[in-house]
Structure 1
Amino acid sequence: MIVLPALSTSRAVLVAIACSGLVIGGALWMASGETAAEWAWTVATLPVLAALAVEIVTALRRGEVGLDLVAALSMSAALAFGEPLAGNVVALMYAGGQLLESYAEGRARREMTTLLGRVARTAMLHDGETLREVPVVDLKPKDLILVRHGEVVPVDGSLVSEIAVLDQSSLTGESVPVEKFNSDEILSGSTNVGNAFDLKTERSATDSTYANIVRLVSQAQESKAPSVRMADRFAVWFLLLTLLIAGVAWWVSGDRVRALAVLVVATPCPLILALPVAIISGMSRAAKLGVLIKGGEALETLAKVKAAVLDKTGTLTYGQARIVDIRTVEGWREDELLRLAASLDQASSHVIAEALVEGAHRRNLVLSTPTGVREAAGTGVSGTVEGRRVVIGGSRYVRENSTRGDPYALRQGVADDAAVVAVAVDGAVAGIILLADRLRPDAPAMLQAFREIGIERVVLASGDRKDVVASIARQLGITEAHGELDPVHKVELVKREAERCPVMMLGDGVNDAPALATATVGVAMGARGRRHRRRARASCCWSTGSTISSAQSGWRIAREG
């Protein structure tokens, strides 16, 4: 259920009215007597009863019958039989339970809002010799647009400029920016982290990759039937039994208050009030452990999960590049090579540069201040460190900007998933630094915990290359792994698993959003900013009825020649 802010506000007002009625009525009963107090309790009960009546009529039109009918009968009978205090108490319990439920579920729209917030609204269109800002919906195939630094690519297209550096983490989940060259395809939803470039559009905004991802999420939500509380399944029979017992009590005793007592006792207070309180308590406890659960239904459904589909990047791995090896030519030490490279990279905001600086700090290396720094966006950096000319970047860039040595000669046996940073000092190649996204050390323990709590089947599904995914699966003992999956194929895989049993999807990145929304319970790995990733938190965000957020294989690693 998605609760709009206005609905939450109205329920808070009803709680305030019911609570005020009890307090004011109590004060009047002590000061003026019973008549004035009864008027106060009656006035406080009527707005809650009216709101409840509207909800009941709306539900009945949808063919739904819930236990809220018992609460409405209790309040109505209390007012009709001259027992407004009992009606006011039931009204407070009902309004309070509804407010707590709204609080527990009202954040479900936040992630979908974030997803839609990334959709570009305007684009800079080349119009002859000038640029004109136009709505994205007006773009047509073959239009030429300018994508500026920091902008999200609005539509799919092909690169007209020589080079572009893109952050595709929101699409593929991969943490390292990629280089694109002239005529390469560029997908909407990517962020330009390099210099501005020209793009020839190939699809309209409604047919582009990012629009399709948003559409998949919406379809996944709409395809799910609204959840029904277990108690509501027996609401009709419970209501008939309650009315029967109340009628018998009235008939046997001859006292209508006896019937009212049955109705008040039968009002499902534990379900109306205690259940939301229990759910919120559980969510609060989980939040202290770093898990944000958005909706009580996700918390309840987790106990039924028997299968898990896991994304790789940011879920089983860190989702960021770290130094895994340093190879040097004769005469160079690893720490000295890293120290000079990291000193120069202090002047760059590139993700790989930040990884080198962080790696140097981790080794307690003292960095110097670079001078005369020149950066070719996404390709490499050159400058002076301690009087020495240092060049860092992709192998091709460093080879073209050095006079001796070849960084490609050091790349024998380099893993396909590693990013290679070449370093030249004073015109001579000094070595290469290898970076890769490392497996989380707690990943095996997590999988073991899954098995211990009853998850019988684990499947690895990723947009990364098949060989990389297979390698991760072997390390973790996962028997079924799928690579090079786009959002559509991930959704299909999750649907197949859901046909067997309740399934949990763990993912990271916008490309996982449709699969997260399709799964019985979706777990989105959070706290993964592009540049500052310190700890990962799981957010049980997407579950049945809740809302939230095309990968390709073979992306070139940024700054790799």
Structure 2
Amino acid sequence: MRKAFEIAKNVPLLPITILAAIPLLLLWDYRPWGGSVPFLGILPVNPSLGQWVVIALVAYTVVTTVIGMVDDLRHGIVGVDVLAVIAILSTVAVQEYWASWAVVLMISSGEAIEEYAQSKAESNLTALMAAAPVTAHVSTLPGVGVSAGAGTGAKPARNIGTRHDGFRPVAPVVPGGETCAITDRDAQACETAVADALKTDARRRGGERAESKSTGSETPARDAHFRTVPVDEVALGDVVIVLPGETVPVDGELLSGSATLDLSNINGEPVPREIFAGARVMSGAVNGSTTLTMRATQVAGDSQYQRIMSLVASAQESRPAVVKTADRLAVPFTVLALVIAGVAWAMAGDPTRFAQVLVLATPCPLLIAAPVAYVAGTGRLAKAGVLIKTQDVLETLGRVGHVFFDKTGTLTVKQPQVVRVEMLPGVDTRLNQDHVLMMAGVVENYSVHILAKGIAKAGLEALARLDQRFADGQRSCPERDFPGHGREHPVVNNIVEDAGKGVSGEVNGHRVRVGRLAFANESQDGFQPVTHDDQSARPNVAVGSISGDAAGVDMSANSTAVTSADMPSDVSAEAGRVARSELHEMPSASIRARFGALAPDEMATYVSVDGQLVARIVLRDVPRANASRALAQLRELGVGALTMLTGDKAASARIIADEVGIDDVQAELFPEDKVNAVRKATAMTEPGSRHTVTMMVGDGVNDAPVLAAADIGMAITDGTSTAASESAQVVIMNDDIASVPRAIAIARRTRRVMLQAVLLGLGLALVGMIAAAFNLIPVVLGAFLQEAIDVVSILWALTVLIDRD
């Protein structure tokens, strides 16, 4: 009902026309002035009072339509509403007043249908815009925000390294202006202090509100510890409070411990994502059930959601070439309709035939159905997490015949992933692969090295396995005294990153070094590791494994059974020191030889615990889980040419290509080589044949030139703005390679549905005009049939919105 009132408000002619039917019906033959009077001195007609109502309605419609046509011409749009004007005047001229009323109803309802169709087609885009944040809650606590530091964007002091996600832990602010400098040792205590302080403030404010109610006064807004301002007034470094269910106003860095965010407005991701302190918070995300605190790292105009809005606005304002073609075709259609109407009049000698034909002539399938289909297609892409910069791209996207892929970060995951842990043969250690991964992952969590994120991820998975075994009732299992076993959060201290070498730190009191072989194997004399008093409970443990099936860990292929239990207790410690000393003095090549050779696409980092080299973590570029399926879907869509362009070595590139199913591989390329490869593919189009549309899919800074060189550049991002997304015409916001074939499928379906809607509407109109020319369709019925044809073609165009995935 609300939608109906909204349409009536925007198209007032529609309710006026409907109401005009009442006097036309009741006063059809009422002529208080008596006899016949010449109409305009030409036709001897005597319209009744009800018929004069229709004539007035026609006059108003003609005037407003002509004004609209002149305005369209002024903006370079050739109007074809001339058909409607001629049709409505012809029906009045032949005294078919009900037909005149029907034509006016057709015009007004056509505007209403167009209004509804446009709003329906833009529903996904409108939802994006409606979710745009308007205000923000900026903290007013003392010592918080820009004034808390020197200069705009100043942040509290930090004393540990950057995490793998590019952020460092930040110091939360306690009400009253006090700050806590976070270290790994006191992070939990500091966060607890902040929480307690906030709870105390909440209780105080609650008491003050109760007191103010009893005295009839209101609590000042400043007691809420934040002020609500327009989002454009948020400055860099401001601390922003986002309440449950609110939209994040600007890009920032999370200060509170954790938050759950709904990112569906940004990248179409259906499942809320949990993030933790130090992570990036993107504007446009919807906060979950708890209040979050963040520090603004971008102003509103530079934030992620504003960039999305710019892309959406750009797409809405553009008109694809096929729609422009439809506009041009409307003119010859008008001429054809006038010719058929004139011939019918001339052959029948009855001017009514002229009106009969014209009331069925409708260019709406061209003027409305075509653009509606493309706007709907743009909305479908946006809902799927794919944004286009112009609607021309949507048309071209459906004709892609050759797709080029970057390798790293596009066909593969963005960081190398851990594929195995190799324990060093012949070395006495009580650790297994999960322990090594857990401790290395905890340390690498604070590193910015390219391998750090993959190791940190594997470490979290190893920690989960250790915790699960502990939770499953194995508290008396052989691992119970191992570092970190049974602890939900390992205690980390003294993180130090040595650029280009590695990172070190203490995990539950054990010194851990991760990095290059020379760095990990470096002597650490003077460090005293944690010892355990309960030695009697420790079983014999093989290197790289633990005894007993209860541990649930697969035996490593290169594990040996040399343990401290094999030698007397009084000499085992000395023997261990000798082993470590030998390793420190052993050449790196000899140590690598003991581990074995790596495959061409593999890389390794080494791990030592308490001064003893214990393992090698092997990583490699791993194809995205759905990359092979995505490429198969492209072939199913008829995209026959798939090429990998990479700067990586040929052997490594070939391995990934074989795994995902690409035959054409061009490796060891510089950015300019990639550009030349794309241009060469375009130039190879056979003379006389249709141009093969090329598309480049990439994600990195070095992909920007080739993205611009291809007919279509498609950037895969995780919602962040990159050089690649700036250069590309299509931006995938959900970091999902499956969106590549999905986008092409939506584009092709949009074009197909548009053509179907146009041809269906024009075909029905042409059949109707020919039937009317032979007097098979009365003029009043023809007017209503024309309206039905418009509705059918427009509704068909809206089927683009139906999700067929």
TM-score, normalization by structure 1 = 0.59
Q: What is the CA deviation profile of residues 480-539 of structure 1, one whole-angstrom value per residue up to 9, with x for unaligned ones?
A: 222344554434433332342233433334544554455445544343769x98855526
Q: Which has the larger radius of gyration?
A: 2
Partner of 1:456: 640
Structure number with higher relative contact order (C-alpha < 8 Å, ≥ 6 residues apart): 1
1:506 lines up with 2:628 in the alignment? no
Could you tell me which amino acid in structure 2 is paired with residue 360 of structure 1? Answer: G
Distance 1:489 1:105 in 2: 38
Does the 8 Å CA contact 1:494/1:518 hold for their aligned counterparts?
A: yes
1:357 lines up with 2:439 in the alignment? no
Q: Which residue, out of 386, 398, 407, partners 1:312?
A: 407
TM-score, normalization by structure 2 = 0.43
Partner of 2:511: 389
1:227 lines up with 2:321 in the alignment? yes
Partner of 2:107: 87
Q: Matched residue of 1:309: which SS?
A: strand
1:538 lines up with 2:739 in the alignment? yes
How far has the Cα of 1:438 moved from its partner?
A: 0.2
Give the 3 Å change call, closer, same or farther, for CA 245–452 of structure 1 in structure 2: same
Does the 8 Å CA contact 2:650/2:667 hold for their aligned counterparts?
A: yes
Partner of 1:206: none
Does the 8 Å CA contact 1:321/1:438 hold for their aligned counterparts?
A: yes
Distance 1:233 1:29 in 2: 36
Could you tell me which amino acid in structure 2 is paired with residue 382 of structure 1? Answer: S
Does the 8 Å CA contact 1:41/1:88 hold for their aligned counterparts?
A: no
Distance 2:734 2:398 in 1: 30
Give the 3 Å change call, closer, same or farther, for CA 529–252 of structure 1 in structure 2: same
Partner of 2:290: none
Distance 2:600 2:627 in 1: 22
Aligned residues: 417
Give the 3 Å change call, closer, same or farther, for CA 343–441 of structure 1 in structure 2: closer
Distance 1:319 1:74 in 2: 58
Give the 3 Å change call, closer, same or farther, for CA 105–462 of structure 1 in structure 2: farther
Q: Cα RMSD between the aligned structures?
A: 4.9
How far has the Cα of 1:38 moved from its partner?
A: 6.8
Does the 8 Å CA contact 2:646/2:653 hold for their aligned counterparts?
A: yes
Q: Which residue, out of 8, 14, 37, partners 1:22?
A: 14
Q: Matched residue of 2:415: which SS?
A: strand
Q: What is the CA deviation profile of residues 333-392 of structure 1, one whole-angstrom value per residue up to 9, with x for unaligned ones?
A: 322211222233455576744432321333413455233222327554322223211122
Give the 3 Å change call, closer, same or farther, for CA 74–360 of structure 1 in structure 2: same
1:433 lines up with 2:617 in the alignment? yes
Give 1:516-555 correspondences, 5 Å limit.
516=707, 518-527=709-718, 536=737, 538=739, 540=743
How far has the Cα of 1:472 moved from its partner?
A: 2.4
1:421 lines up with 2:605 in the alignment? yes
Q: Matched residue of 2:495: which SS?
A: strand
Q: Which moved more, 1:256-265 or 1:97-106?
A: 97-106
Does the 8 Å CA contact 2:121/2:379 hold for their aligned counterparts?
A: no
Distance 1:46 1:78 in 2: 14
Q: Which residue, out of 494, 512, 519, partners 2:678?
A: 494
Could you tell me which amino acid in structure 2 is paired with residue 319 of structure 1? Answer: K
Could you tell me which amino acid in structure 1 is paired with residue 640 of structure 2? Answer: E
Give 1:206-245 correspondences, 5 Å limit.
227-229=321-323, 231=326, 234-235=329-330, 237-245=332-340
Distance 2:15 2:703 in 1: 50
Distance 1:475 1:331 in 2: 38
Q: Which residue, out of 361, 366, 380, partners 1:271?
A: 366
Give 1:88-487 correspondences, 5 Å limit.
88-92=108-112, 227-229=321-323, 231=326, 234-235=329-330, 237-252=332-347, 258-259=353-354, 262-279=357-374, 298=393, 300-329=395-424, 330-332=427-429, 333-346=432-445, 352-363=451-462, 364-366=465-467, 367=484, 368=487, 369-376=490-497, 380-399=502-521, 402=524, 404=580, 405=583, 409-410=591-592, 413-415=597-599, 418-487=602-671
Q: Which runs of 5+ in 1 are unaligned?
A: 1-13, 61-67, 110-130, 134-148, 151-192, 194-220, 545-561
Distance 1:248 1:510 in 2: 64
Q: Matched residue of 2:505: which SS?
A: strand
Does the 8 Å CA contact 1:28/1:36 hold for their aligned counterparts?
A: yes
Q: Which has the higher strand share?
A: 1
Distance 2:353 2:702 in 1: 60
Distance 1:325 1:285 in 2: 41
Could you tell me which amino acid in structure 1 is paired with residue 321 of structure 2? Answer: S
Does the 8 Å CA contact 1:94/1:273 hold for their aligned counterparts?
A: yes
Q: Matched residue of 1:267: which SS?
A: coil
